[in-house]
């Protein structure tokens, strides 16, 4: 993975020291909260319902064991002994105390981490496919471009005060595990007919209160041009994005209002001008230099179908169940990608305790895993496991209560922190997620239902991605009472689509029954092994409406 040199390291240390000075001024009363707010937001520090919340950047979701142990240490020493992994591959600590934050930043800087640009109207943490470097279908490791973009976007001189926040995601294959179609900019790495690798660029996707699927703005941007091209998109947005209304300020609204044709025209013009100066041309030597950090580990030459692995699956049904859902094909024979579910039934989706983080770091060391990945679906991934080690891995995960075999199933629910923590929320998300998971806890039932993605947001800002859930749930406030609407048919993957609201919402008790009714309706309608999403797309909303709202 990427390793800081003295320049990267100095920047994050200086930044931590700068914030120490700002916090001191705030605590001494020299800065009002109004004056302090933009400064703390530039360092990922939010003020929420009960406490400050610190959002730690995890670039493209990649952590080494040392970093994971440091996160465990920081959460234990300065917070309440746990953190919350988010849909943007970051980690949030929800109980931070302001005087501690400079020390927390310094601890992070020591392991090449920071909270830069995890809030504010700037380019946020660059996210990528969590299976990077391991997926069998990958064209190129998306972390190479992601790291180039991390450096390009860090304290960008022109684009640090955009109309609104700006999120970029990169996928290294045509299968989209990074939700690129619902980002401000989504980048798909692809290979042209002549074998050249380049970038397909989408713009104007996003969720929130006005969701849109991204539009193609560049069909094939050559590697060397990508910074000039992105700078062109950013400049068009910075100049023309709306600043009169915070709810209409994202680039998706600009694209929607002027149309993708006009957006393309403006970007092409700007791109041509920027290219003329040549300053932002990305030399092959720089790409090669960064790519070296992401060179694959030394894979052994193995045969697939390790005998002991196959025997373990036959001998242990629980293990076989876990393999069935949580293990994915690796590009190398004899290797596998293992997903560690953070969706233990009855627990908060995405939460991870300091003890669990330490335990996972020990597991990484034990199995020679240099990295662990955070997924936008709030799970963790060990990308380069030997098949022969999977049984031992599973036993150790079992001991940590982290071997829940539910990746992609109905209990693998995305949920935002909701009204339990967030001052923007209208309703609680976590209790809904845990109640649904408990209702569907039976594993045979989950497996029978197959891939089914439930995503829950506690307000229209959509941090829980409810628009792109196969079943989305949106919490709203109805005259002071929490109320939950159901959306069906969304997807955040390569077949991206936005869910449609089914009808009137349900109260806290009713929503779990309603979800169960939706799922029962699907079961009656599906043909063979048809996924929920495919059944919905085939039959439409009507049968579900009839079942839910029949008088």
Q: Minimum Å distance from CB 82 to other proteins?
A: 31
Among 158, 196, 310, 448, binds other proteins (CB under 8 A): 158
Task: Name residues whose C-beta falls within 8 Å of residue 374's C-beta, 6 or more positions apart in sequence.
Answer: 58, 61, 62, 63, 85, 89, 90, 91, 130, 380, 381
Residue 365 interacting with other proteins (CB under 8 A): no
C-beta separation of 98 from 52 below 8 A: yes
What is the rounded CA–CA span in Å between residue 2 and residue 15? 20
Among 159, 407, 440, 506, binds other proteins (CB under 8 A): 159
Q: Minimum Å distance from CB 114 to other proteins?
A: 12
Nearer to other proteins, 295 or 550 (CB): 295
What is the rounded CA–CA span in Å between residue 99 and residue 79? 12
Among 47, 136, 175, 280, binds other proteins (CB under 8 A): 280
Instruction: Convert 488-517 into a string of H (helix), E (strand) and C (coil).
Output: ECCECCCCCECCEECCCCECHHHHHHHHHH
DSSP H or E segment with residue 171:
strand 168-171
Q: Minimum Å distance from CB 3 to other proteins?
A: 6
What is the rounded CA–CA span in Å between residue 390 and residue 269? 52
C-beta separation of 482 from 428 below 8 A: yes
Q: Minimum Å distance from CB 53 to other proteins?
A: 21
Kindly identify the residues of this chain, within the stretch 160-179, that bind other proteins according to CB under 8 A: 160-163
Q: How many CA atoms lie within 13 A of 233 on its CB side?
A: 28
Nearer to other proteins, 157 or 195 (CB): 157
Nearer to other proteins, 17 or 110 (CB): 17
Closest CA to 63 of 397, 296, 361, 412: 361
Q: Minimum Å distance from CB 155 to other proteins?
A: 7
C-beta separation of 280 from 231 below 8 A: yes
Among 14, 137, 442, 516, binds other proteins (CB under 8 A): 14
Residues 117-156: x where in contact with other proteins by CB under 8 A, - otherwise, as a string? ----x-----------------------------xx-xxx
CA dihedral 493, 495, 498, 503 (to 10 degrees): -110
**Tokens, residue 527:** 């043909």
Nearer to other proteins, 30 or 546 (CB): 30
Go through 269-284 and write b for each residue having 16 or more CB atoms within 10 A of its CB, e for each that does not: ebbeebbeeeebebee
Go through 337-371 and write b for each residue having 16 or more CB atoms within 10 A of its CB, e for each that does not: bbbbbbbbbebbbbbbbbebbbbbbebbeebebeb
Residues 19-38: x where in contact with other proteins by CB under 8 A, - otherwise, as a string? -------------------x
C-beta separation of 317 from 328 below 8 A: no
DSSP 331: S
C-beta separation of 422 from 86 below 8 A: no
Q: Minimum Å distance from CB 322 to other proteins?
A: 33
Nearer to other proteins, 295 or 303 (CB): 295
Q: Minimum Å distance from CB 23 to other proteins?
A: 14
Residue 320 interacting with other proteins (CB under 8 A): no
* # binding residues, other proteins (CB under 8 A): 39
Q: Minimum Å distance from CB 292 to other proteins?
A: 5
Residue 299 interacting with other proteins (CB under 8 A): no
Kindly identify the residues of this chain, within the stretch 35-64, that bind other proteins according to CB under 8 A: 38-39, 42
Q: Minimum Å distance from CB 332 to other proteins?
A: 21
What is the rounded CA–CA span in Å between residue 377 and residue 384? 19
What is the rounded CA–CA span in Å between residue 360 and residue 384? 14
Kindly identify the residues of this chain, within the stretch 87-116, that bind other proteins according to CB under 8 A: none
Q: Minimum Å distance from CB 235 to other proteins?
A: 6
Residue 452 interacting with other proteins (CB under 8 A): no
Residues 220-249: x where in contact with other proteins by CB under 8 A, - otherwise, as a string? ---------------x--xx---x------
Helices then strands, counting H and E runs in the chain, come out as 18, 20
Closest CA to 344 of 399, 394, 393, 406: 406
Q: Minimum Å distance from CB 294 to other proteins?
A: 9
Nearer to other proteins, 190 or 234 (CB): 234
**Tokens, residue 349:** 């989706």
Nearer to other proteins, 8 or 530 (CB): 8
The pair phi, psi for residue 326, each rounded to 5°, is -95, 0
Nearer to other proteins, 158 or 495 (CB): 158
Q: Minimum Å distance from CB 1 to other proteins?
A: 9
**Tokens, residue 196:** 């050249």
Q: Minimum Å distance from CB 159 to other proteins?
A: 7
Residue 549 interacting with other proteins (CB under 8 A): no
Nearer to other proteins, 193 or 276 (CB): 276
Residues 259-278: x where in contact with other proteins by CB under 8 A, - otherwise, as a string? --------------x---x-
Query: β-strand 185-191 against 168-171: which pairing, if any?
Result: parallel
Nearer to other proteins, 10 or 324 (CB): 10
**Binding footprint of other proteins on the chain (CB under 8 A):** 3, 5, 7-8, 10-11, 14-15, 17-18, 38-39, 42, 121, 151-152, 154-163, 235, 238-239, 243, 273, 277, 279-280, 286, 289, 292-293, 295
């Amino acid at each position: 993975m990427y390793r800081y040199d003295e320049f990267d390291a100095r920047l994050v240390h200086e930044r931590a020291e700068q914030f120490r000075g700002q916090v001191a001024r705030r605590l001494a009363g020299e800065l009002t909260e109004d004056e302090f707010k933009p400064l703390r937001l530039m360092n990922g520090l939010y003020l929420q319902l009960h406490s400050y919340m610190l959002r730690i950047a995890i670039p493209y979701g990649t952590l080494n064991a040392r970093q994971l142990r440091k996160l465990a240490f920081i959460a234990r020493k300065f917070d309440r002994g746990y953190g919350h992994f988010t849909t943007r591959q970051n980690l949030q600590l929800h109980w931070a105390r302001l005087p501690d934050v400079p020390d927390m930043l310094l601890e992070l800087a020591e392991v090449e981490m920071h909270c830069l640009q995890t809030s504010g109207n700037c380019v946020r943490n660059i996210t990528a496919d969590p299976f990077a470097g391991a997926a069998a279908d990958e064209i190129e490791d998306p972390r190479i471009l992601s790291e180039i973009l991390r450096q390009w976007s860090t304290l960008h001189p022109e684009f640090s005060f955009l109309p609104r926040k700006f999120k970029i995601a990169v996928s290294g294959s045509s299968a989209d595990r990074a939700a690129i179609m619902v980002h401000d900019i989504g980048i798909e790495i692809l290979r042209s007919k002549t074998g050249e690798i380049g970038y397909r660029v989408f713009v104007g996707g996003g969720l929130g209160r006005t969701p849109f699927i991204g539009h193609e703005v560049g069909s094939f941007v050559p590697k060397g041009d990508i910074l000039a091209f992105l700078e062109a998109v950013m400049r068009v947005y910075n100049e023309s994005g709306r600043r009169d209304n915070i709810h209409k300020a994202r680039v998706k609204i600009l694209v929607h209002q002027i149309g993708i044709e006009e957006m393309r025209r403006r970007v092409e013009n700007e791109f041509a001008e920027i290219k003329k100066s040549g300053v932002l041309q990305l030399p092959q030597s720089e790409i090669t230099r960064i790519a070296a950090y992401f060179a694959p580990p030394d894979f052994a030459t193995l045969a697939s179908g390790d005998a002991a692995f196959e025997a373990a699956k036959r001998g242990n049904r629980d293990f076989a169940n876990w393999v069935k859902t949580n293990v994915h094909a690796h590009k190398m024979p004899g290797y596998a990608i293992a997903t560690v579910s953070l969706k233990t039934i009855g627990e908060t989706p995405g939460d991870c305790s300091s003890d669990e983080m330490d335990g996972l770091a020990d597991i990484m060391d034990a199995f020679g895993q240099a990295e662990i990945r955070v997924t936008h679906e709030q799970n963790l991934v060990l990308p380069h496991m030997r098949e022969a080690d999977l049984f031992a891995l599973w036993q150790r995960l079992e001991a940590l209560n982290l071997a829940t075999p539910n990746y992609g199933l109905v209990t693998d629910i995305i949920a935002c922190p909701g009204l339990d923590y967030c001052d923007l929320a209208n309703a609680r998300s976590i209790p809904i997620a845990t109640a649904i998971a408990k209702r569907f806890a039976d594993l045979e039932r989950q497996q029978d239902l197959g891939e089914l993605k439930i995503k829950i947001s506690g307000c229209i800002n959509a941090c829980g991605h409810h628009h792109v859930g196969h079943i989305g749930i949106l919490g709203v406030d109805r005259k002071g009472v929490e109320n939950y609407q159901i959306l069906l048919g969304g997807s955040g993957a390569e077949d991206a689509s936005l869910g449609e609201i089914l009808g009137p919402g349900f109260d806290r008790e009713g929503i779990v029954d309603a979800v169960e009714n939706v799922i029962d309706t699907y079961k009656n309608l599906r043909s063979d092994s048809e996924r929920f999403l495919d059944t919905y797309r085939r039959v439409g909303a009507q049968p579900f409406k009839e079942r839910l709202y029949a008088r």
